[in-house]
Amino acid sequence: MEHSDLTTRSNGRQRKPAGASFPPGHARGMGREGESSSEPDMGDEEADNLIRSSDSEDRRRPRTRPGIHGELGNVLLLLFLYVLQGIPLGLAGSIPLILQSKNVSYKDQAFFSFVFWPFSLKLLWAPLVDALYFSRFGRRKSWLVPTQYLLGLFMLYLSGTVDSLLQNSRGPDVGILTAVFFMLSFLAATQDIAVDGWALTMLSRENVGYASTCNSVGQTAGYFLGNVLFLALESADFCNKYLRIEPKDTGIVTLPDFLFFWGMVFLVSTTLVAICKRENGHGRERNDPEETQGVMETYKLLFSIIKMPTVFTFCVLLLTAKMGFSAADAVTGLKLVEEGVPKAQLALLAVPMVPLQILLPVVISKYTAGPRPLDVFYKAFPFRLLIGLEYALLVWWTPSVKQEGGFPVYYYAIVLLSYALHQVALYSMYVACMAFHAKVSDPLIGGTYMTLLNTVTNLGGNWPATLALWMVDTLTSKECQGAAGQSCGSAAEAGLCVKEGGICVTTLDGYYVESVVCVVIGLVWWVWLGKKMQRLQEKSPAAWRCRVNQ
């Protein structure tokens, strides 16, 4: 999932965060949030791994480990389900780039960015998914099967209508596109809740750790297929340059074809799972009873956690910490596309970033393993702000290096280096945050506690990104040149200017205004509230313990 990259966002679970960030990363950190939300996803499994140590009693008990080979079928099924989950996330991340190439307004982009919110809000309905089900059909299949059928049906619907929605005579129908892709994201988030729960019982106790691997690898692969690979194969320029002998006007794959193919995959595979995979008490699935909790009890528990003074203060800080990064994370990738950078080339820049995104958490975790992990967060904060200014300079410089055949190789090298530096700062903050969440989460309710903090963290990246997209047009100034008495304050006025023989010229780009304002806001936050966040590390463990357990 905030999925940071410059073309996609991460949301919630998505590595990519919400909206359009730069360049597209992998499903759960590409920006996994997108992001997005430009942060990597605070995944439930990854988070739980930070607070769960291996059961020492089980370690002392001699037993024969069955190995993964006996459960290879279950592992492959989990992997496939997570791949399916990443497909709609990747497709949703590619739409902002397609919309930008059709010159939609940034307010339309802001409206579409709500598509990326469900993964950051799924905690609101996760208790329902856990508690309500048909026991004879299966606790997890009761939700998995209908949500995947609906995902497939929505994709088939879109395959027949998406061209008309994108190529309307009045411009793309952003409202309907947002509604449909929001439903896709909502269903994918619901599927994620069901699969996460099923993974814990589908695998034996010795092999349950593979669930997290299936999650990361599967969702990353699905996002890559739905975003990076799709954008490359959909681009006529990319296909003509690298994959064809004779050039054509369209790419190898069209969006309707891609949607139809995966819609059918969803329907066929879901039918097979519903018929062939029995959930309870069959095969090698664990027969251990799952821990259950009533819906109202879960919501009361969440409310009791939020009411704690230290948790409430921390949540407020998490919700405001990423305001300074919103312009860089949400708008930069769209601005590069607006300046003529091919969206397929931007997407492909995510590929060499994958090894870095795998290694960074491993390296950074060495510095966040102590008692003060938020010190790393605090130190990385100003560097990420400065990279935001560097992004603005990169966008400003882009038109001057554009050549007749595109952009030179050294330009893409500089973009790649900028993105790599951004990832270092982003992951430093992300790993530090996760480590602190693990440190303070009450172990008696660790899963719910951690999920709440992760949800707030991801939401703290989504709302500033949406606001940043919304404000670009408002902060932009244009004037009509060549037609006396005309202006370009609105779309209607701009059309009248052109009709009178004039041309609208941007005198002040709102993106640059936002970039400076966001950095100023970020510095104020860092100086005023950053120290306050650091001081939370000095609180005693009792200050973080939920009273419901005392």
The pLDDT score that the predictor gives to residue 51 is 43
Which of 389-398, 494-503, 527-536 comes out lowest in average pLDDT? 494-503
Which of 22-26, 155-159, 508-512 comes out lowest in average pLDDT? 22-26
The pLDDT score that the predictor gives to residue 243 is 87
The pLDDT score that the predictor gives to residue 43 is 53
Give tens-digit pLDDT for 4-19.
Answer: 445 444 333 434 433 3
Residue-wise DSSP of 10-51: B-TT-SB-SS--SS---TTT-----B---SPP--HHHHHHHH
Q: Has residue 44 got a pLDDT over 60?
A: no
Query: Are the CB atoms for 451 and 43 separated by under 8 Å?
Result: no
Q: Has residue 95 got a pLDDT over 70?
A: yes
Instruction: Give the global pTM.
Output: 0.81
Neighbouring-strand partners of residue 10: 35
Mean of all residue pLDDT scores within the chain:
82
Which 3 state secondary structure label does DSSP give 61?
coil
Candidates 346, 44, 80; CA nearest to 221 is 80
Which of 30-44, 409-423, 521-535 comes out lowest in average pLDDT? 30-44
Which of 155-159, 325-329, 493-497 comes out lowest in average pLDDT? 493-497
The pLDDT score that the predictor gives to residue 280 is 56
Neighbouring-strand partners of residue 9: 35
Which of 204-213, 279-288, 317-326 comes out lowest in average pLDDT? 279-288
Which of 54-68, 79-93, 141-155, 234-248 comes out lowest in average pLDDT? 54-68
Q: Which two tokens stand for residue 213?
A: 């691997």
Query: Are the CB atoms for 115 and 89 separated by under 8 Å?
Result: no
The pLDDT score that the predictor gives to residue 207 is 76
Query: Are the CB atoms for 430 and 423 separated by under 8 Å?
Result: no
Choose from 33-47, 207-221, 510-524 the range with maximum mean pLDDT: 510-524
The pLDDT score that the predictor gives to residue 444 is 67
CATH 1.20.1250.20 holds for 70-278? yes
- Percentage of residues in the chain having pLDDT higher than 90: 45
The pLDDT score that the predictor gives to residue 16 is 40
The pLDDT score that the predictor gives to residue 61 is 45
Candidates 95, 89, 91; CA nearest to 108 is 95
Non-local (6+) Cβ contacts of 382 within 8 A are 523, 526
Given pLDDT bands bounded at 50, 70 and 90, which one contains residue 284?
A: very low
Structure-token match 């410059």, residue found = 6
The pLDDT score that the predictor gives to residue 292 is 54
CA pair distance 8, 30, nearest whole angstrom: 8
Which 3 state secondary structure label does DSSP give 477?
strand
Cβ atoms within 10 Å, residue 468: 28
**C-alpha atoms less than 13 angstroms from C-alpha of 499 in its C-beta half-sphere:** 10
Query: Are the CB atoms for 31 and 16 separated by under 8 Å?
Result: yes
CA pair distance 190, 127, nearest whole angstrom: 11
Which of 115-124, 165-174, 518-527 comes out lowest in average pLDDT? 165-174
Please indicate whether residue 190 or residue 58 has the higher confidence score (pLDDT).
Answer: 190
Which of 25-34, 45-54, 233-242, 504-513 comes out lowest in average pLDDT? 25-34
The pLDDT score that the predictor gives to residue 23 is 53
- Percentage of residues in the chain having pLDDT higher than 70: 83
Query: Are the CB atoms for 24 and 453 separated by under 8 Å?
Result: no
Which of 178-187, 230-239, 289-298 comes out lowest in average pLDDT? 289-298
Q: Mean pLDDT across the stretch 97-107?
A: 89
CA pair distance 519, 522, nearest whole angstrom: 5
The pLDDT score that the predictor gives to residue 394 is 96
Please indicate whether residue 491 or residue 304 has the higher confidence score (pLDDT).
Answer: 304
Please indicate whether residue 182 or residue 138 has the higher confidence score (pLDDT).
Answer: 182
Given pLDDT bands bounded at 50, 70 and 90, which one contains residue 54?
A: very low
CA pair distance 12, 123, nearest whole angstrom: 10
Give tens-digit pLDDT for 515-543.
Answer: 999 999 999 999 999 999 999 999 988 88
Q: Mean pLDDT across the stretch 442-457?
A: 77
Cα angle, residue 81 at apex, residues 28 and 84 outer, rounded to 5°: 65
Task: Please provide the size of the chain in residues.
Answer: 550
Which residues in the chain are classed under CATH 1.20.1250.20? 70-278
DSSP code, position 503: E
The pLDDT score that the predictor gives to residue 470 is 95
